[in-house]
Structure 1
């Protein structure tokens, strides 16, 4: 089977906390002949996966090195602190980083927040993953500051979360290898950006042609006025063939001569 005969497909990577369900559904409706495969990947490994062509495009968390990757920022998440339900923080709607100064704030190795100065007190060890950190919060060992989508992803009945007003936010972006902006990648970009099924970058000029055609069709009507007869009664009707006032007069005169009898000599 040659390369041109290989059936097209699309591989979409996504990091924890991102839910691509809506975009996948739209893809399947618009391109039923092109299967889309989801590739889960950690936030730290996502850029490398795209560079190695392990996926055609992917949802990543910024910042990333954009040397050879294109990225379209999509949205910014609220940052929250995850605490036990009986914690003092659970009694308020939001807190600041300063309110966590006396708390042990867990810092997992897969943390996605770009802190300049981390709040609170450091734990003795860093948990390997956010999921491990959530288990430690449930055990009463500390609290955890994460994007809201990760707090929802690792939800537990004995935990809750509150907004941290001055924490750095996490931005989610759609990214792909810069040199691999294929037609399928462009199709997916359109879906994510909300482009409708009938929209097309090439249809705008075509739509503008209709008024032009309308104007052209009106030109003969306006031009018809130029052929109106000149002012004056006789100008409106063409003369009859063979007619002429002088010749007609002579004919009449000659007719009167022929009516008189000739005299005999």
Structure 2
């Protein structure tokens, strides 16, 4: 049955352009990866390259002290860094250092500035600005020397591109078929099912790769220290490597698989009714 559906035709054109653009993007990524030394050609550059590293998911945790004292004694080897916390019972040593006049002290005190409309400072209009949640998910780029570790990170990076190409291909042919004949059949059902399974498989592989990555790298600590002062090491941030998964994508994949089975059941039921009639 042929049906003139402008919306389907528009979506088909968009999906076809998307598929060609995805092909071009993947070819350019492969070219930069394997045929350039550092992922740069003139003004063109790529963020993911074997010389720069590949992204890995981590949770950033900040240690933001209210006040930080860098101290050093002119009469002894006493030196270091101490911070003030939100818990008064743990600030005994901090207050002791703060009141000790024999120490040469440098204070680092947190402050905030709030702006609106560009550079208009409105800090005096708001009190008590404080970070409520000091951890968040970020992507960090690492470049391991271990060949296997680097290979699986490269696999994960290009697996996302492969998934994008596969879904673009399935969508292009799905809407192409609907544009020719606006009826549902087993081929359309198979394409929807393929998209669902590809999303589920992608999440499974992504999770396995992240679990393997955690065997090579579990945490990254960032330290603040003063080279001229012994024992002045202060950890202000750490990055905890996490298992990578996306429940929304996994749920979407499962929904598409179920939808494909339901549509397939409806298609078979319709054929049985037509044969009965």
TM-score range normalised by the length of the shorter chain: under 0.3
Which structure has the higher relative contact order (CA within 8 Å, separation 6+)? 2
What's the TM-score once normalised by structure 2's chain length? 0.23
What's the TM-score once normalised by structure 1's chain length? 0.24
The structure whose Rg is larger is 1
**Which structure shows the higher helix fraction?**
2
